[in-house]
Amino acid sequence: MPIPTSPTLIANNPSVTLQSPGVVASLALDKAFTPADVTNGNCFQASGDDTLIVFNSDSSAHPFTIWSVADAFGRYADFTYTVQPGVYSFVRIVSAALYTQGGTNQVYFTGSDATLEFLPVTNP
């Protein structure tokens, strides 16, 4: 699948830091996964330190790809990983210059099957 041109935007969820006395507002820890948009791809607004959580709800393994942009030497570092059935995978993305698309500050990624579900989280 080529790099998306009009990916579906997924809201980036802030992480929660517990502080004494440990009171957290209702629903503050509840985050919803978004199924892969197999046709258009997906994206999220990069903060410079994000984690993309990927869950495979299927009984078969499925790959996803995080698309890079060219570095100063014209090289790419696209990242493809196959998530096994029933497994959560975590990818921390800290290189904004390499993984955010020009002019958008968005990270583009594609899943091969709608049973892959994504949850981007901003790290504190």
Amino acid identity of 101? Q
Distance CA 51, CA 111 (A): 16
* Helix or strand holding residue 44 (H, E): strand 42-45
For 1-56, the pLDDT digits (tens) are 677 888 888 877 777 666 667 677 777 778 899 999 999 999 999 998 999 999 99
| Residue 38 token pair | 């197999």
Q: What does the domain layout of the chain look like in residue ranges?
A: 33-122
pTM for this entry: 0.86
For 85-123, the pLDDT digits (tens) are 999 999 999 877 899 998 889 999 999 999 999 999 998
Tell me how far CA of residue 85 lies from CA of 10, 52, 88, 89, 110, in angstroms.
23, 17, 9, 11, 17
pLDDT in the model for residue 16:
67
pLDDT in the model for residue 45:
93
Instruction: State whether CATH 4.10.280 applies to domain 33-122.
Output: no
